[in-house]
Amino acid sequence: MLWYKGWLETRFRVLFVLVIVLPAIGFVLRHIDPPVPVAAVEELLNALTFFLLLIPLMLAGAGIKTQCILFGTTKGLHGSMYITLSLPVSRLRLLATRAGLGMLETVGVFAVASCVAWFMYPAPRAYLTVSGLFAHWVTVSICMSAFYFLTVFLATFLGDQEEIAVSGILIVILHLLSKTVSVPSSVNVFRAMGESSPLFTHTFPWASMGVSLGAAAILFLAAMRVVQTREY
């Protein structure tokens, strides 16, 4: 039932993210009337992808501290954390269940957004295939995992609101660095979710996906280490 606790904490965040993401997608897609150059579509997709990175910020959690439902007044560590820590479960299970639930919600929200885009707007149907969109969803879900687990890691030692703020700032910095520092394009995770997506290249950006998964695994292990050694 740890998933149930996590779901009660995040259900309004999922709703909030959908309320933000779906109109944003609609706004972008309404400005694509075929025919437009592919470069313009890539540019719009890049903007949208960066916007989609808000999703993991909102939905990630480490499972020990009690999270506020949305942007409530719960600051720092809520006293109910001691009830969580008194349950007969390991800290690893607390972390893994909460992190797993948030990741599922994240890819779920992105799947809903993709479906809405496909069914409600003519532009995706004109430019994309279902298999291309599915490949894009897989790519973004995997590439997003690094950013998701960055937030999970931060959630192990920061308060609820600080974790969102710090994670957001770090993602913006990484995004700017990816544009200014010469990173091999094959491992540029931001590019993999934008112009190097299978939507345009018709092939998976395996190197970027591998980098992202590797980073996610390292961040999860770091989060696990913090949770197992931290005193509350």
Partner 1 sequence: MADPVIETRGLLKSFKGLNALNGLNLSVPAGSIFGFLGRNGAGKTTTIKLLMGILKPDGGNARVFGLTATDASASVEIRRRLGFVSEEKDLYPYMTVEQIIRFTRSFFPKWRDDLDRRYLKLFDLPPKRKISDLSKGMRSTLMLLLGISHGAELLILDEPADGLDPVAVEDMLRELVAIAAAEGTTIFFSSHHMEEVEQIADHVCIIDGGAAIVTGSLDDLKARYQRLRIVLGEELQATIHWVDGAEHVRQEGRSVEILASRNVDAILNQARSLPGASVECFPVTLKEIFMEHARRN
Task: By CB under 8 A, name the binding residues for partner 1.
Answer: 1, 4-5, 8-9, 66, 69, 74, 78-80, 82-83, 85-91, 228, 231-232
Residue in 154, 162, 148 with CA at minimum distance from that of residue 59: 148
Indicate the residue among 182 and 229 with the shorter CB distance to partner 1. Answer: 229
Find the shortest distance in angstroms from Cβ 67 to partner 1: 9
Find the shortest distance in angstroms from Cβ 169 to partner 1: 28
Residue in 179, 190, 210 with CA at minimum distance from that of residue 52: 190
Find the shortest distance in angstroms from Cβ 5 to partner 1: 6
Indicate the residue among 75 and 202 with the shorter CB distance to partner 1. Answer: 75
- Retrieve residue 111's tokens: 């799947």
Indicate the residue among 86 and 180 with the shorter CB distance to partner 1. Answer: 86
Indicate the residue among 35 and 79 with the shorter CB distance to partner 1. Answer: 79
User: CA-to-CA distance for 157 and 163, rounded, in angstroms?
Assistant: 8
User: CA-to-CA distance for 205 and 91, rounded, in angstroms?
Assistant: 35
Cβ atoms 44, 117 nearer than 8 A: no
Find the shortest distance in angstroms from Cβ 62 to partner 1: 16
Cβ atoms 84, 117 nearer than 8 A: no
